[in-house]
Structure 1
């Protein structure tokens, strides 16, 4: 607002000079010099108050505050009156503390209490302050020592500055100032429109290039691929014949491409002079042989395109039907031979369930690949806004990238110490938590592309296996494990440690950068592999290396339930959509749904293959095998909690969660991977759901799905 006022003052001054109102201009300049509002510049108002305090002008300080009260504070609602009174009390205390600090308890302090006695003696917050002039060392007194600190003074000045700034911004403005803001807004909108126009142009160019590539790769007969080699005379003749046929009615589609002499009797062919193309260009009449040759080529071209369109796919595969008549048995056999995939027209696929046709719940609109990683992925997570993705590989490289409107890398994080876990902060969502293998957690700003600070968690348990941010605050939970745990990627000859390793579960605050508490893990300290909050952060569920699931009450910071869930380690846990149950995947290959209202009671249990559970195996050259223990999320739900996305050897698989225990029903295979998928995520922040599947070859597939509403 201050900048708008300054520009408006200059415009008014220019207008007065243009009109010749010199006396008015002189009055304007004199009033601007003595302006107590300081042009609505908050820093100038704060400087004026500090100048009055430093000169010990108590009368001027009271007068200026009274002016601000009449000019600004009196227009506020009654709910803001206590805030104004607190600021005035702090201002007077700031004055008193200044007299004591600089003048060493001179009569200026006593003068303040004498002049303000009638006003302050009825206020409870000033009752103890009347003894201040008689205390030998008030800066050492417990009641007054906080006010002598530099921190209190800075906090008061910042609070007053923020209050005045908000007040000026929210106060009604005259039309002249609103006009200036409107001009700035229009300028901003025009710049945004220009950026969107450039983006649209780039997308159009990309779309045209893709269309051209599709035309080039489309398999046509050799004599059709070389149609562009026709001479100028033959091309002109083609266009001439098209113009003539557009105005000549015909009974048959192919008759328009035949010579005029072969048509039905009674129709005369127009002479060569009737061709507007030849007349305008002044070229010679083509011979009959040339006409017949060109028309024959056109007929072959159209017929070949017709046949290739209806009988061949882009990959050269025969469709389940052709031009000749087929029997019902032939059609059924060809339908079974079709590959299980969605065609290029994105039509809805139909599956047979119990003899009845059931429409599939999702259509795969597109699938893109992010290939900036050069090693196996451990974690891949979308932020809560659905705009950015953070992915971590086994080499400790973190990529922050966006996929809308185009796929683009925003930041690359390379750490000297190995990174084992990551998690997006809830507030604000631009912050990223990175857990290392040396007992530290880094808070990284993805917009500024820098580390804000680094927290030392635990030296005894240096491996940060899991991170989870509370949706309702600035705290986060981190799981720290001892060094005895096996690494995320081991060779075939390495043996896994069977006994659960020691670990801790800690609660930290990102604002104070301090540990708040350590959770009690019964029956003993154990490594926590996975953690997840519910929607409001009141509950926390964890899965541990001892096969136990523990449910914590985050209001009391204590364990509410715990039960033995799996034979072996628990790899991944999540709350259900209604948050009445918890789903878990363990080392035993079980995908189990647990009732959190009845401890240890299963609602459903499904068996999964090793491709969905792990450890994941990637075969290499000379018999070498790379084995990776699960670290990231192994399953994710859609926005309504009715479908679940899991890992597989060639891509993500989506299952329907049935209400009765009839097994998992596979509804869609995303595919696209050549290596085992080790972690998944499902973002439903936008209208079209986005599935992320990351594999051991460093490739991340981003599949866009369209939900089919029943």
Structure 2
């Protein structure tokens, strides 16, 4: 920290000189000369204290120690208060010992005269009042230890160590931690690179053992211990590993495109990870001009043609290499020899592992099997069934590296969102308790607050990830600083529409969208009434407003045709040019944020729209509604449905939690009901006992259940999937106040 302070001071001097701020530079130099903290140099602070003692400057010693207590020691926790008091006592005793050793008893009398009101009631000072009156205090058993050189050195070292640890643990401004963060990131990158090299070596060894499976039994390896602590691999490394598994050069050439795409920044989203359906690539309507990205149909057709031509090319390669046919006598003889070796090894393994008596095999049976089954056995070893169709066991797309639980909430969670850096989480429960906690390393609560009025919505301010936007049910939006732990400002939105249902901050950080609605509708009061709210009959009045983040003033009000309706969910695309909303009337509206107009709208669900978001390539919009449907929409053609899936009721809500004596808690969706991975191939959604990850097939035909995270005892009501760091982090929050954090490692074939 000392070196960081000195370097920062030099940089500030250079900057002030460059800008010509001479007066500021003079005041800066004067403040540095009068700096009592000595640039956080412990040796200078200890030297200053010893200098006061050697000069018998009691007033200076008391003033300087009082400054250290106010400036530094007051920030410590209560458990360290006894240590500070012991150091203060030792410091005063060292001062008295110096006065006695130099025969300045008048200074000792002066010390007790000034400090008597403070020290006379302390038991450890009871015997010290007699020190100035003793003829030979250094020979007295009570004081002889303090007159030794060893005690003085021990006290000086203890004071030095205490201040050193204090400066290392105290929070510092971001500008001082810049060098440390750079060094830490560099060290982590080097460590990750070493772990990746180990993983590549392991993959190559596994590949070699699989190739040798034709000559011996298949060997299976467990993942090494370091995989549980490593970060998720990037696309480039995963493609390099997968290219080692493929023998054809054509397959390797196709993987090179994935390597180049991994080098592009995630925020730009210039190329989709998988080709979208043909309906998504259709041209936009001529009446609407939107900044949408499309991939030419010719390129998609070319890619499909290349993929379909792979088996033919592989056959050509085999013909060039003159691979022997299956009817070759040498091949048949070699297969029979391999079969016999496998049978012998299998019989030996079974005899060692089992004590049961096995039925005897006739002498003719091995001959029959040798004559009739070598092709079938070789086919099974290669993953081919009896009918000649390759039977591949689906490989798990993710490895669960760790699962942790955050249990600081004591009521049902409403919102749970990760900030843009992927290091902190903000969570809100139904009691109005806000928790901000870190997920980078140790899971630790950074800030906690309780709102007097009930809160309904929560959103991170995009550019400054220390700020939170909080919407209440009394018509106010607050800007909360999670580091200073205080409200920066509070604004009133609409008086006649008090419920702030949704907040969405523009990725540029300059503005945010606020959805205000009237009081609760009957469907929210009586959720057990069947059919209520269907076909968009839940007409709750509402407004959609745009606010400036810096000035906290309203910029405009969006037009919600055909009637002003409550907007339940909002989401921006990656650059903030498009805004998609889902309303209580079942309509999805797409707004052009450059023109601040509704570009298109369509009826999407029977009932309310609970959650909406853009696809990875931003050519489509996904939505979940009250009717239990998960639908993909083409935004190039208004209202064109690409795919539709029926989700279980515990994934869409309303969520119910039953208890003793007929107690039943009902909660309507507030937070996000689904989230995507970094490439948009997989979706995380809610369930009754945890999160569920589905695979989104490119053809839109099926929704494949890939992984159940589990771990909850109550229904999960909101999810989030952070891809800011290399390892994917899934968050699932439930009605019992528990939030589970699951770290995943993606596998790619």
Partner secondary structure for residue 23 of structure 2: helix
Give the Å deviation of 1:486.
Answer: 6.0
1:448 lines up with 2:487 in the alignment: no
Matches within 5 A, 1:373-522: 373-485=409-521, 499-522=538-561
Alpha-carbon spacing, 1:321–1:606, altered in 2? closer, same or farther (3 Å): farther
Aligned to 1:356: 392
Flag structure 2 segments of 5+ consecutive residues without an equivalent. 11-15, 28-174, 192-224, 226-349, 359-382
Alpha-carbon spacing, 1:674–1:40, altered in 2? closer, same or farther (3 Å): same
Alpha-carbon spacing, 1:357–1:467, altered in 2? closer, same or farther (3 Å): same
Contact 2:696 2:704 in 1 (8 A): yes
Aligned to 2:671: 632
Contact 1:491 1:625 in 2 (8 A): no
Give the Å deviation of 1:4.
Answer: 7.0
Aligned to 2:725: 686
Partner secondary structure for residue 447 of structure 1: coil
Give the Å deviation of 1:42.
Answer: 3.6
Q: 2:587 aligns with which of 541, 545, 548?
A: 548
Contact 1:489 1:629 in 2 (8 A): no
Alpha-carbon spacing, 1:418–1:185, altered in 2? closer, same or farther (3 Å): closer
Alpha-carbon spacing, 1:444–1:6, altered in 2? closer, same or farther (3 Å): closer
Aligned to 1:587: 626
Aligned to 1:105: none
Distance in 1 separating the partners of 2:455 and 2:7? 51
Contact 2:538 2:608 in 1 (8 A): no
Distance in 1 separating the partners of 2:178 and 2:600? 58
Contact 1:442 1:451 in 2 (8 A): yes
Matches within 5 A, 1:217-296: none
1:606 lines up with 2:645 in the alignment: yes
Matches within 5 A, 1:259-338: 323-324=353-354
Measured against aligned partners, the alpha-carbon deviations of 1:221-257 in whole angstroms (never above 9, x if no partner) come to xxxxxxxxxxxxxxxxxxxxxxxxxxxxxxxxxxxxx
Distance in 2 separating the partners of 1:581 and 1:435? 28
Distance in 2 separating the partners of 1:522 and 1:321? 77
Give the Å deviation of 1:404.
Answer: 1.5
Contact 2:569 2:610 in 1 (8 A): yes
Measured against aligned partners, the alpha-carbon deviations of 1:407-449 in whole angstroms (never above 9, x if no partner) come to 0001112111110000001111111100000111000111111
Aligned to 2:160: none
Tell me how large the CA RMSD over aligned residues is. 3.8
Measured against aligned partners, the alpha-carbon deviations of 1:358-394 in whole angstroms (never above 9, x if no partner) come to 2111011111000000000111000011010001111
Partner secondary structure for residue 441 of structure 1: strand
Measured against aligned partners, the alpha-carbon deviations of 1:602-654 in whole angstroms (never above 9, x if no partner) come to 00000001010010111111122111111110000000000000100010000
Q: 1:623 aligns with which of 662, 665, 674?
A: 662
Q: TM-score, normalised by structure 1?
A: 0.52
Contact 1:481 1:504 in 2 (8 A): yes
Q: TM-score, normalised by structure 2?
A: 0.50
Q: 1:43 aligns with which of 20, 23, 30?
A: 23
Contact 1:38 1:44 in 2 (8 A): no
What stretches of structure 1 move > 3 A for 4+ residues in a row?
Answer: 3-8, 36-47, 184-193, 325-328, 352-355, 484-498
Partner secondary structure for residue 394 of structure 2: strand
Q: 1:695 aligns with which of 731, 734, 737?
A: 734
Measured against aligned partners, the alpha-carbon deviations of 1:156-204 in whole angstroms (never above 9, x if no partner) come to xxxxxxxxxxxxxxxxxxxxxxxxxxxx9999759998xx99xx9xxxx
Flag structure 1 segments of 5+ consecutive residues without an equivalent. 9-35, 48-183, 201-210, 212-319, 329-349
Alpha-carbon spacing, 1:492–1:688, altered in 2? closer, same or farther (3 Å): same
Higher relative contact order (CA 8 A, sep 6+): 2
State which structure, 1 or 2, has the greater radius of gyration over its C-alpha atoms: 1
Alpha-carbon spacing, 1:523–1:38, altered in 2? closer, same or farther (3 Å): closer
Distance in 2 separating the partners of 1:538 and 1:600? 20
